[in-house]
Every structure is written in structure tokens, then in C-alpha cells.
Chain A
Amino acid sequence: MIAYCGTTTMSDDIDWLHSRRGVCKVDLYSPKGQQDQDRKVICFVDVSTLNVEDKDSKGAAGSRSEGELNLETLEEKEIIVIKDTEKQDQSKTEGSVCLFKQAPSDPISVLNWLLNDLQKYALGFQHALSPSASSCKHKVGDLEGDYSKIPSENCYSVYADQVNFDYLNKGPQNLRLEMAASKNTNNN
């Protein structure tokens, strides 16, 4: 069983166009050169690019899409963050998977679609970077089904004890997610 909870959309309040924050450094990831340190991996997945077979057959996300959480009905402004709540001893790397549906790029209003995309990425970062042991993490089953009752909120966090990413597979269709559910609950 996986717990999830609705959260407020803090990124709505960000005035992106007038933000004076400095830009961060960017580099390309090279596994060999990285030292073992506190890092987080965020995988952004556009669910509209995944074919149904993969979604249904792979991992917990797919299993949830069959039941309570249908990814095909995910709205453009919604995002689901699947978080790993346990750090693996060997890498300390926490992982999150951000599932969202990409909005069509409106050719008229550049600002709108830019901000729309930006907001989704911000939500992803915001929830993926927040501590896993935050108050947002409810006990398993506490808020089951509640996400659908909060239509005004467009971000949900789904917590799993362990998330495994198959980075070796290339292409969006071949992404494989595996989430280990909590041990003391019913596993769907």
C-alpha cells in the first residue's frame, strides 16, 4: 500500500519573471566522476509519452493507474511525485519520480505555456527536494483516496519505501519504475 497526500501549490506564488535569484550551476551527469554524497535523483516522466502496456505492466505506478490512480486522466496541471522514503545505505541517493502530462505549447501565449511548464517542474523539485519525513508523509492508508477529493490542489506525493529506477533502459517507453510498498500494509 502506498500513501499519498495532497499538498499546497507553493510554486503558484513564485513570480518567475521578476525573481532575482541567481542561477545555479549546471553540469552533465557522469557516474564515474561523482563522489558519494548527498544527492537526489528526480526523474521527470511525461505520462502521455508512455504507452499503456508499459504503464499497466510496470511497477507500482502502473498498478495504481489501473486502480485508484489513472494516469491517463491526469490533468496537465497535475503532477504526481513518487518518492522513495528510505535512503539506500550504499549511495544515500534519494529518488523521486515526477509524473505529469505535458501541456500543449500554445503558439499564441508563450508566457502561459512557459509558466505552465515551469510550474510543473517547480512542483516536482519542490516536492522531490522536501524531506521525506516531512509532515506531508502520512501513514500508510491514512489518506487513501483523498487525493481525488482535493481538486484544487494539483500535486500529489506518493511515498514508497523504495523506488528503483532503471536508468539503463533508454527512451521514455522503456522506463521502468519499481516501488516497494510498506511492509506492514496490504500491498496492491
Chain B
Amino acid sequence: QSPSNPATKSPSNQRSVATPEGECSMDDLSFYVNRLSSLVIQMARKEIKDKLEGGSKCLHHSMYTSGDKGKTSPRSAVSKIASEMAHEAVELTSSEMRGNGEDCRDGRKTFLYSEMCNKNKCGEKQQMCPKDSKEFADSISKGLMVYANQVASDMMVSVMKTLKVHSCGKPIPACVVLKRVLLKHTKEIVSDLIDSCMKNLHNITGVLMTDSDFVSAVKRNLFNHGKQNAADIMEAMLKRLVSALLGEKKETKSQSLAYATLKAGTNDPKCKNQSLEFSAMKAEMKGKDKCKSKADPCCKSLTSAERVSEHILKESLTMWNNQKQGNQGKVTNKVCCTSKDEKREKISPSTDSLAKDLIVSALMLIQYHLTQQAKGKDPCEEECPGSSMGYMSQSAQYEKCGGGQSSKSLSMKHFETRGAPGPSTCMKENQLESQKMDMSNMVLSLIQKLLSESPFSCDELTESDNKRCCDPRSSKAAPMAKRPEEQCQDNAELDFISGMKQMNRQFIDQLVESVMKLCLIMAKYSNNGAALAELEEQAALVGSGSRCGRDAMMSQNYSETPGPEVIVNNQCSTTNLQKQLQAVLQWIAASQFNVPMLYFMGDDDGQLEKLPEVSAKAAEKGYSVGDLLQEVMKFAKERQLDEAVGNMARKQLLDWLLANL
């Protein structure tokens, strides 16, 4: 009801509102416009509904009645009806407006709308049951547009008809009225459109989701896309893994590249890439070995000791280089006067020589181990006279071949040397063996080169340290160091010295750890008892032969060195289980502290007689301290469970370990 004129219910009465008196308010105007629009919409709805109900049997779906789900119906019928209705309405409105001689400002919209309707008419050609979903979607969107246009057109007609409204004796500008009316109706129109869209969308998706072909196609597409993406991701990850394992492949020309980098010292910019180059060298050897898989096959041909040796060598070289770089950087950055230079030189050579000794010790151990391994693993050496060249001589040959040759050519030479003169069967074995031992040879050769060089010669260790100050490699820093810069402060110098000490200490500690790990792993993985004994002797010789190495051995933490044999006497156990558990825990603790041999004293009741057997089994199966402790935990938990259920028939710990290790 209009607030000012409740009797007005029809468009004809609306004109009476727009009296020349101009008493009609804006609210009244909006009310009438709204009313008109609602009437138009309701009429359209009714007309559509009537047509749908009285029309073809296929017309079950409409934009407003979507209750019949799942039935196939001609979706374009609705839009068609709507289009026809809208077209008729427009025609009528246009003719009416033309007849009334009004200025039709919405002519452009009407034109567009009519054009679209005509196009719709021509395009659909009275097809009541289209099967194509695309056509269906198009028809839906067109129908919505028709509806929107119809509503807008009706509104526009209403507005235009009420433009004669005056307010306070003045005519209200048409644009103002239009704007207000449109704003008033915007919400309703949009809401209506959204509602319609959602209903239609629901129908569409409901139908589609029940279509098994469509669903399977979607799944297949998704799966294909996902599979492709997963494959890409996996490939990328593998590439990264391989690059991480093998290092960036660069143009490595010789096996001695890493060594050359090391030899070049701190002045060589390649030092930064030393580890990469070493890895590249390894990768090249991998390619030579025809290992087609990416990372593992190369490593599979190596023993654990070799892998560790390789790792330690690389690590040592990197650390060595880093340390040198650190020295260089420190010296470059913190230029000091001559008297302070002396302080630096007092620190650096001693620690450097210590580090050198440690490296030499490690290298000699690795060399010895590889040599021993070559002797032990190459039975054809003696049987095949033509291929009797030992690894030492082979490596010597490698050295003769020179650092300029690629490792591939060296490898080929190695194959030829080993395979050519011998019998065919032996040759095959030799080739297989040689493939396996190529890495050993290369490492061995590299080590020998390193050891033969003067900077790593045991005899020249001290001299080289002293010479290092005058060495051309370090001469770059010297002029800077000798510059008389008086502004260098004492505090900076002290920081520098302490930093040097700290860095050298860390470096040496790491080296010591690496060396000792190597020794332990060599001892652990060595199958030959005699070789092990020799190795230990060799290690002792190396340790005693090297002044700094011996000092380092003395100064290092006992937990990192195989300590003395330990005899344990327990005086506190009461039960058998406690006694066994105590012994096992002590065994674990002793293992953590690298006790080589643990003896238990006072086993008069025979409770610990199985302990040696257990330890042998654990060592044989490669159990670590953590593994063993976890086994003990399992036992304890099982025992708790047994106790909880009242099961008294339990195994003792050592029996359990024997059965479960």
C-alpha cells in the first residue's frame, strides 16, 4: 500500500500519482516503481509457469521450479519461453511507448535486448530437447540474461512512465529518479539472479555427477594430471638427490684435480669448489664404471671403509682448504703490524703442522687399508702372470700417466693392463674386480700423490710450516700484512688470535675425530685378523712416527680413542636379571666410550656366560649402541607385559637377546 495513496494498485492509477501538483514524495515514487516491477515479475513468472505446465512433457525444469531432479528435460525450453515472453513484452512496451510519444531513453537497451532475443530465436530453431550440455549451459545463461533484461526493461518502462513526477513544483531530474529506483531494485534483482543461477547449477551438477562417464572422465583426467605432476616432482627430487650425492658435474680434467686445488692453496679461486671437484671426479669415475643407476651402484662396489675413506679424505681436504681460506681471510681483513705478525705466525704454523700430521696419519691409514684390501681381494693377481701388477704398481702407473689424463683414460689403461694378457676367464674376473676396485685405485693414487708431495711429506712437515711464511702461495697476504698500518688495535689482534686458536682447535678436533672414526671403521669392517693386527701396528707406527700426531693423540678426548681394556667387577646385583641387565648396560656404556674389550669379573654363578656370545652376535650383525639399547627396552617392556598378565615363564635377558638379535 502506498503511504499516500493506498488505493493505487494498478499501473493506470500510477499516472494519477504524478499529478501536476507534485505532492508525490520519493518514497511514493519508489513504492510505485517497485510495485510495478513486482507486478511485471509476477506476471512473467505466472506466464512462464503456465506455459511450462501446459506445454511439452519435457518441460520439467525451469529456472524457478527445480524440484524434478534427475530427469532429462529440454533445458532450453525455459529460456525459450522467457525469450518469447520478453520479446513480446518489449514489443508491446515499445509500441506503447512509441504510441505515447515518449522519449525513450532506454532505446539502446531495448534494442540490444531485442537483438539478443531474435538471435536466440534464430539459433535455437525450436529445438525443445537439446542434448549437448554446452548448448544447455548457453541456453541457461541466455535465459538468465533474457530474464534480467526483461526485468530491467520493465523497470525502465515504469520509470519512464513516472518521470512526470514533480517534487515541490520542480520536475525531478530523470537520472536522479532512475538512479534511486535502480538502487532500490538492485538487491532484489541480484538476489533473484543468484538464486536462479544456483538452482540451475545444482541441476547441472546433479545431472553431471550421476553421469558415470563424466565422473570417470574427470577422475581419469585428475589422475593423469596428478601422475604427471608426481612424476615431475619425483624426477626433480631425484635430480637434486643425485646432484647432492655426486656433486655438480664440472669439467674435471684429471684425477688430481682436487689435489691440484689443494696444492694451489689459498690463492687459487678454485678452492671454493674443491669439494665439488672432488665429487665431480667421483662422478666421472662412476660414469666410467658404467653404473647406469644414479647413485647407489657406484657406492655398492665400495666397501664401507672405502666410502668412509673417501668421505674423510674429502672432508679433510675441504676443512683444510677452508681453514686456509679462513687464515687468508683473517689476514686480509685484519692487517696488523709486523710485531703482531709474529704472534700470528707463532700460532698458525704449529696448529697447521698439527693438522698436517693428522691428515698425513689419516692418509697413510687409508693408503695402508686400501693396499691391504687390494692384496686380500685380488686372488687372480698371483694366478695370472700377465696381470700380476699390484695396486701399488698400478697406482704408480697411474702416476706415470700423469695428472693431465682423464680418469676415464686411466681407467681404460687399467682395464687393458689387467685384462689383456690373461686367460679369458681370468680376464673377466679381473675386469669385474677391477671395476669394483677402480675407486680404491683412484683414491689410493690420489693419496699417494698427496703423501709424496712436499707439503705433506712427513720429513718436511716442520720445514714446510716454516717455509709457509715465505711461500709464494701465501705471499699475497704478506705484503698486506707488512704494511705499516698503525691503526690496528690490540683488541682486534687479541680477537684474531683467539679466533685463530678456536678455529684451529675445531679443525684439529674434527680431523682427529675423522681419523679415529676411520681407524675404528677399518678395524670393524676388516675381515682379516692379520690385516687388522697389522693395521693396528701401522696405526701405532703412524702415531708414533708423527710428532704432532702423537701429541694430538695424547691430547684428544679419551672417548674418541679406543681406550684400555676394562675389567668390570659388579658388587651390587642381587637377582640374575639385575646382574644381566647391569652387565648389558655396562656393555652399552663401555661401547659408547670406545672401550675395545670389556671383561666381566666374578661370574661365579654363570649368569654372564652367554654375554660374549651375545656381544659376538651383536657385532656380527652390526648392532649399534642405540640398537642394542632399544632391544633391551623391548625386553623390559615384554617382561612388564608378562608380569602384568601373570606369566612367570620368562627368558632371561641374555637368552632373549640371543634369540632376538
Contacts and interface: CB of A to CB of B under 8 A. Distances in A.
Interface of A: 10-11, 14-29, 34, 37-46, 48-49, 93, 102, 107, 110-111, 114, 117-118, 121-122, 124-126, 128-131, 165, 167, 170, 172, 175
Contact of B599 (A21, A29, A165, A167): A29
Given A23-B615, A25-B596, A170-B602, A43 B569 contact: yes
Contacts of A48: 572
B111 interface: no
A105 B565 CA distance: 30
A-side binding surface: helix, strand, loop or mixed? mixed
Given A18-B626, A44-B568, A125-B589, 8 more contacts: A21-B592, A21-B624, A25-B598, A42-B566, A46-B572, A110-B637, A118-B588, A121-B582
B565 A16 contact: no
Contacts of B594: 21, 24
A165 B567 CA distance: 13
Contacts of B614: 26
B70 interface: no
Interface string B261-290: 000000000000000000000000000000
B619 interface: yes
A25 B564 contact: no
A40 B567 contact: yes
B566 A114 contact: no
B517 to A, nearest CB: 10
B581 to A, nearest CB: 8
B598 A28 contact: no
B626 A28 contact: no
B619 A14 contact: no
Residue of B570, B571, B603, B626 most packed against chain A (CB within 10 A): B571
B589 A129 contact: no
Contacts of B565: 37-40
Contacts of B636: 110, 114
Given A25-B619, A44-B586, A16 B629 contact: yes
A38 B588 contact: no
Interface in B572-628: 572-574, 581-582, 585-604, 608-609, 611-612, 614-616, 618-619, 622-626, 628
Contacts of A125: 566, 586, 589-590, 593, 595
Given A114-B585, A114-B629, A28 B599 contact: yes
A52 to B, nearest CB: 16
Given A39-B565, A107-B640, A20 B612 contact: no
A27 B585 contact: no
A111 to B, nearest CB: 6
Contact of B625 (A16, A93, A107, A111): A16
A41 B572 CA distance: 16
Given A23-B619, A24-B594, A167-B602, A40 B628 contact: no
A45 B572 contact: yes
Contacts of B632: 114
